[in-house]
Structure 1
Amino acid sequence: MEKSQQNAHTYKSLKIERKDPTSGVFYLYLNRPLQRNALSSDFFTEFPHALSSLDQNPDAAVIILSGSGDHFCAGIDVKVFSTLTNLSSSYPDTARASEYLRRHVKFLQDAVTAIERCRKPVIAAVRGACIGGGVDIITACDIRVCAKDAFFSVKEVDLGIVADMGSLQRLPGIVGYGNAVELALSGRRFSAQEAKELGLVSRVFGSKEELEEGVSILAEGIAAKSPIAVTGTKAVLLRTRDLNVDQGLDHVATWNSAMLLSADLKEAVAAQMQNRKPKFAKL
């Protein structure tokens, strides 16, 4: 297994691997397995950095996001909440404490939104627990798959807080408003099969091994496609998510007016005519 150049930067909460030196698929792991990959303070600084480094790496075409060990993510580490409480109490008045908290929440949100800023597709591969902040993370991913042992919970209401890193904004568009309300207000645990029925994940695999093989096949298939088309498709889907159909069509017309006439289009057409696999330049 090759250690990626991206791993030249040492992370406390993450790990990056490139399992095949000829592949465009890179693996980004939440890497605190003894804490069920609970999100530490380090994560919120390191995660955007790692995604940015992969985004800028021309060898990286697709990112698989997973958790080390038996779980994806148990949510935010309680130590983060303790730190916030202690810091807030050090301010001389409520207004200043509130202003600090708002800035810090925006900082936490930005770490998750970094998934959407990354041009390369991010596929969440979930095993075990995906709780609270874990749900925030996967709802920002482009594709979500899981093993049958996965379970999920929008848990924040049970901690006496409002989910604030994206679940309440992204989940309704994925599972429907009514389902999102029920999950967020109850905080209940739901299974991999229910996640599939709700549309939160697109596929459920029977075991860890099947998940690893299945998500690898999916990622390799995407990585073999035109990077201009793949990154453009992600960008247009995100940009037009909150637009009406006419606005979305106008946006993609503008996008393609700039990006349609690429070397990738010529190569894709030639490959089809010659009955061979296309070979695209890196992005």
Structure 2
Amino acid sequence: MAGDLLNIEGEDTARKSWHLRQFIKQCQDSFSVLEKCLKPVIAAVHGACIGGGIDMITACDIRLCTHDAWFQVKEVDIGLAADVGTLQRLPKVIGNRSLVCELAYTGRKMMSDEAHCCGLISQIFQDKDSMMDGAFELASEIASKSPVAVQGTKRNLLYSRDHTIQDSLEYMAAWNMSMLQTDDVVKSAGAVMQKKTSKEVTFSKL
């Protein structure tokens, strides 16, 4: 596909560049939709997670893996810089620029234990089956919460990642001046007082 784009409009560099940029943007957007999704997205990794796989999981909210999983920013080995999200999101996900640079410059493999240690992964499971069970259990737990609270939390976490603390507090205040008026607050508080779990409360769909 990318090769075809280089042949667009003969040898005109500007036109080839224009169409290649559009192609790259489309690829970027195909991963960014995971981040923009209003609901939390859980990634479950087993085996190899290479190149585009890193782009995908760093756009997700929660990442799980099996013991045999490994991760690799592979683009440098094929002569290009990762261009659809890894270089932008990975530094913010693991918070260690030195490690990110090492991984991106060398293309070396990072095994599951290191991925967990640096914060790329939040939980490691023995095998694929136990990981999938854990992922569905986690998803069920999140789904039992107030959708107003969960989706508002995701939106504000993403906003605060890209803005100053003060800007984020201002955004949060503007957000909650309406969202705090939800009936979900009363239902949730009532459940706590009655020592019920969130799974015993029915929230309206959002």
TM-score, normalising length from structure 2?
A: 0.94
Partner residue of 1:252 out of 139, 158, 172: 172
SS at match of 1:124: strand
Residue type at the aligned position of 1:98? S
User: Are 1:149 and 2:72 matched, yes or no?
Assistant: no
Residue in 1 aligned with 2:31? 112
Residue type at the aligned position of 1:253? A
Which whole-Å deviations, capped at 9, do the CAs of 1:41-93 have from their partners, x for residues lacking one?
Answer: xxxxxxxxxxxxxxxxxxxxxxxxxxxxxxxxxxxxxxxxxx21123123231
Determine the C-alpha separation between the residues in 1 that align with 2:118 and 2:72.
13
Deviation at 1:210, TM superposition (A): 1.5
User: What is the percentage of aligned positions where both structures have the same residue?
Assistant: 47
Structure 2: 5+ residue runs without aligned partners? none
Which whole-Å deviations, capped at 9, do the CAs of 1:217-243 have from their partners, x for residues lacking one?
Answer: 211111100000000000011111111
Which whole-Å deviations, capped at 9, do the CAs of 1:98-121 have from their partners, x for residues lacking one?
Answer: 111011100100000001111010
Partner residue of 2:154 out of 204, 222, 234: 234
Residue type at the aligned position of 2:8? S
Residue in 2 aligned with 1:207? 127
Partner residue of 1:279 out of 186, 196, 202: 202
Residue type at the aligned position of 1:151? W
Bigger CA drift: 175-184 or 272-281?
272-281
SS at match of 2:34: helix
Residue in 2 aligned with 1:88? 6
Determine the C-alpha separation between the residues in 2 that align with 1:179 and 1:253.
35
Deviation at 1:246, TM superposition (A): 1.1
Deviation at 1:275, TM superposition (A): 2.7
Determine the C-alpha separation between the residues in 2 that align with 1:137 and 1:110.
11
SS at match of 2:162: coil
Residue type at the aligned position of 1:86? D
User: Are 1:139 and 2:62 matched, yes or no?
Assistant: no
Deviation at 1:208, TM superposition (A): 1.4
SS at match of 1:130: strand
Residue type at the aligned position of 2:4? N
User: Are 1:189 and 2:112 matched, yes or no?
Assistant: no
TM-score, normalising length from structure 1?
A: 0.69
Which whole-Å deviations, capped at 9, do the CAs of 1:235-283 have from their partners, x for residues lacking one?
Answer: 0111111111111111111110111110111111122222333221112
Runs of 4+ in 1 over 4 A off after TM superposition: none
Determine the C-alpha separation between the residues in 1 that align with 2:140 and 2:91.
29
Residue type at the aligned position of 2:178? A
SS at match of 1:241: helix
Residue type at the aligned position of 1:214? G
Asked if the contact 2:5/2:20 (under 8 Å) is kept, the reply is: no
Structure 1: 5+ residue runs without aligned partners? 1-82
Question: Over aligned residue pairs, what C-alpha RMSD do you find?
Answer: 1.0
User: Are 1:100 and 2:19 matched, yes or no?
Assistant: yes
Residue type at the aligned position of 2:112? A
Determine the C-alpha separation between the residues in 2 that align with 1:177 and 1:131.
19
Partner residue of 2:140 out of 220, 227, 239: 220
**Structure with higher helix content:** 2
Partner residue of 2:88 out of 155, 165, 169: 169
Across the two proteins, how many residue pairs are aligned to each other? 201
